[in-house]
């Protein structure tokens, strides 16, 4: 009986271990903004068009007029789930800016905001979705405009997270059953059995 009880307790401990997320989502490496249609609130000159920020060439750039606010808008072609936005700034960068998404190019939702932008190369994790992405600058870091060499947009690249509490998580399904020892009637104290019992939810 003691041996059976020990086995039951050991198995119960294993099944009681916390369920872990399954197949965590990863952020893809493809750039959904590459060569996408882009427009801007202004340009410094015809040499610095909005399209230069999404052409995959870090030698070209978009540059705005020398005033606040300014924005760059990218049409991703269809609604996308975003997980990261990479910005490569020229020396004229944004001290304060927002990343926004929109389903129609008119109504915008903030998915990132900062007032302490460092410039340089920024890889910004985000959570949001939309067809359009807008980089909306509200405060310049220099007397010049806003200037971006490149904008890259990344979307989830395979696998979706199954949270620990999701019924589809196989570890959670196992946890819903617990092993309990079942001692038989008096007079049979040397016998024991194991009984799988579903836990109440």
Based on the domain organization, do 46 and 138 belong to the same domain? yes
pLDDT of residue 25: 73
Based on the domain organization, do 11 and 72 belong to the same domain? no
pLDDT of residue 180: 42
C-beta of residue 194 within 8 angstroms of C-beta of residue 177: no
Based on the domain organization, do 17 and 42 belong to the same domain? no
Based on the domain organization, do 149 and 170 belong to the same domain? no
CATH, residue 139:
2.60.120.260
Residues 80-96: tens digit of each pLDDT: 999 999 999 999 999 99
Based on the domain organization, do 121 and 52 belong to the same domain? yes
Q: In the chain, which stretches have pLDDT less than 70?
A: 1-24, 158-201
C-beta of residue 68 within 8 angstroms of C-beta of residue 140: yes
Tell me if 74 is assigned to some domain. yes
pTM above 0.75, yes or no: no
pLDDT of residue 185: 46
CA torsion angle for 87, 92, 96, 100 (degrees, to 10)?
-40
Domain span at 193 = 2-22+166-198
Radius of gyration of the chain (CA): 28
Tell me if 180 is assigned to some domain. yes
pLDDT of residue 113: 98
Domain count for the chain: 2
pLDDT of residue 157: 85
């Amino acid at each position: 009986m003691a041996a059976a009880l020990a086995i039951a307790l050991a198995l119960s401990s294993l099944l009681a271990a916390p369920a872990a997320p399954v197949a965590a989502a990863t952020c893809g490496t493809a750039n959904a903004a590459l060569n996408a249609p882009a427009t801007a609130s202004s340009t410094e000159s015809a040499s610095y068009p909005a399209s230069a920020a999404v052409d995959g060439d870090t030698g070209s750039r978009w540059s705005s007029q020398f005033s606040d606010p300014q924005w760059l808008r990218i049409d991703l072609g269809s609604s996308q789930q975003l997980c990261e936005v990479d910005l490569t700034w020229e020396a004229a960068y944004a001290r304060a800016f927002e990343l926004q998404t929109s389903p129609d190019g008119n109504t915008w939702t903030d998915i990132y905001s900062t007032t302490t932008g460092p410039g340089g190369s920024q890889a910004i994790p985000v959570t949001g979705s939309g067809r359009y992405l807008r980089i909306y600058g509200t405060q310049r870091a220099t007397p010049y405009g806003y200037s971006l060499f490149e904008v890259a947009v990344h979307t989830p690249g395979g696998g979706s997270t199954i949270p620990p509490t999701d019924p589809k998580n196989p570890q959670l399904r196992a946890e819903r059953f617990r092993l309990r020892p079942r001692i038989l009637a008096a007079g049979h104290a040397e016998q024991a059995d194991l009984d799988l019992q579903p836990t109440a939810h």
